[in-house]
Structure 1
Amino acid sequence: MQETSRTVEALPRAVGWIDILTVFVDPERAFHRVLKQGTWFPAYPVSALLATGVAAWMMQNSMSVFEQALAQAATAQAEQMRAFMFTMTKVAPIIGGILGPLIAGALMALVYGALGLFIGSSGPSGSFRSYFTLACFARLPQVVAQALGVGGMILFHLQTPLIFSPVVLFPNLAPQSLAYSLLSTLDVFMIWSIILATVGLAVIHGRKVREVVAAGVVLYLVSLSLSVSLSLIAAAFSV
């Protein structure tokens, strides 16, 4: 009896780790478990660890290119810049890896909460913790995309990470162009994240997934508008 009690008490702590994998194959089942218990933590360290690794490699790669540019500049200013970049390659990935997923999760939790006001609920309304948990788990496909992108970059000796959107079919498109921004929002892993978020919102509010499809459409339109806005800003500064 005592052993059974210990197993039951330990189960909630293990559920979040198990559902990091389950969310990819049976998201509704995974969200029913993790959202009920608010177990956001397992998804966060996975995101933070991968984000830190990806950022560290990208910064190191940038540092090697930067070193080549400074190779012929033996000035004191060049040495100061080299020291600054060296420090950034050590500090920036850690800070970005730890704070990045937290900030992104908090912002998306607010977006999900706003959508929840329009979805309505057949039971208790969602809490910030449940929305934050959803944000952490729904973001996992994009974390995988980052890892695959850099992995492909290393494996195939590319100059930039692999892209998982139709942009790859148009290599001559300028990154700051409107067409590039529109096509980049068709990223397979980003759409996967939106689908997971839609399923999670349905679970939180006790709805069927088809009843909250509009929320998924809104999430895609938000991503689209952000992408287009950034491209317009980039185009303005490139003039």
Structure 2
Amino acid sequence: MSEVSRLSGVFFEPSKAFTDIAARPSFLVPLILSLLFGVVYITMFSQRVGWERMIRHQQETSSRAAQLTPEQREQGVQMGAKFAPVFGYVGILLGVPLTLLIWSAVLLGIVKGVMSVPLRFKQIFAILCYAGLPGLIFMALAIAVMFLKSPDDFNLQNPLVFNPGALLDQTTTSKFLYSLASSIDLFRIWTLVLIGIGLKAASGKKISMGGAMAAAFVPWLIWIFCAAGLAGIFS
């Protein structure tokens, strides 16, 4: 398959596309696309909404920030607005590849170590890079919403109404519940399903579709519960 066929196949013929990806694993094109879209997204956010507005919103929903004096809160806003853009770009350019590497290692341990399926790290890494392509649609929609809504109403942490968290009041809902509800997102589930399809395509008959989906979903479920717990502790 050509690269264009692979990219479109992930959306329209995922089994066929991932079979080809597993046979000839490459990852540069989807990875570069993800990084490029991420940089554009952060740049648009910086220009349209601004980091100071985001940090003030975070303070409004934080019980810890409520205990600070107005001077301390303002100091936190100014400092946060200064460093947030740096962390935003670093999070995209370094955080995304690093997360993919760690996630690939986890899946390799599950599939090869637990399920005894002889996949290679490069195959799994390529599967994850292509499975992340729905994120491009997510960012494109988020940018559109960013310019359709008032900057005051745009939430960088939850820009689209594709998860239960978007329907909750962030100021009154517990951080644990809000984090958990926000994690159960249509685009994340779409990506996880693609990962499962990719693992199945790469493994052939050595693993069932149910086993492949379990390998994709179980680590994610563990992660979102841990993340929600940390959000509740440090809120």
Same fold judged by TM-score > 0.5?
yes
Q: Secondary structure at the match of 1:42?
A: helix
- 2: CA distance between counterparts of 1:106 and 1:203? 20
Match of 1:21 in 2: 8
Please give the TM-score of this superposition, normalised by the length of structure 1. 0.73
Moved segments of 4+, more than 6 Å:
none
CA-atom RMSD in angstroms: 2.8
Structure with higher Rg: it is 1
Q: Counterpart of 1:205 in 2: which secondary structure?
A: helix
**Cα distance change, pair 29–173 in 1 and its aligned pair in 2 (3 A):** farther
How many angstroms does 1:182 deviate by?
Answer: 2.2
Report the counterpart of residue 59 of structure 2 in structure 1.
none
SS in 2 for 1:171: coil
Aligned partners of 1:156, 1:110: CA distance in 2, in Å? 39
Query: Is 1:119 aligned to residue 112 of structure 2?
Result: no
Residue number in structure 2 paired with 1:219: 219
8 Å Cα contact 2:176/2:229 also seen in 1? no
Q: Which residue in the other structure is 1:182 paired with?
A: 180
Partner of 2:192: 194
Q: Distance in 1 between matches of 2:38 and 2:134?
A: 13
Distance across 2 between alignment mates of 1:194 and 1:105: 13
Q: Secondary structure at the match of 2:134?
A: helix
Which residue does 1:136 correspond to in 2? 129
Gapped runs of 5+ residues in structure 1?
Answer: 1-10, 67-77
Given that 1:119 and 1:205 are in contact with CA atoms closer than 8 Å, whether structure 2 keeps it comes out as: no
Q: Which moved more, 1:173-182 or 1:23-32?
A: 173-182
Cα distance in 1 between the residues matched to 2:178 and 2:138? 18
Percentage of pairs with the same residue: 23
**What residue ranges of structure 2 are gaps of 5+ in the alignment?**
55-74
Aligned length: 204
Of the two structures, which has the highest relative contact order with CA contacts closer than 8 Å and spacing of 6 or more?
2
Query: Where do residues 1-239 of structure 1 align in structure 2 (5 Å cutoff)?
Result: 15-60=2-47, 61-63=49-51, 65=53, 85=82, 89=85, 94-116=89-111, 117-121=113-117, 125-157=118-150, 158-160=153-155, 161-172=159-170, 174=172, 177-206=175-204, 207-235=207-235
Q: CA deviation at 1:209?
A: 1.5
What whole-Å deviation, never above 9, does each CA across 1:121-151 have from its counterpart, x for those lacking one? 2xxx111111111111122223422332232
Distance 1:162 1:187 in 2: 9
**CA pair 228-94 structure 1, distance change in 2 beyond 3 A:** closer
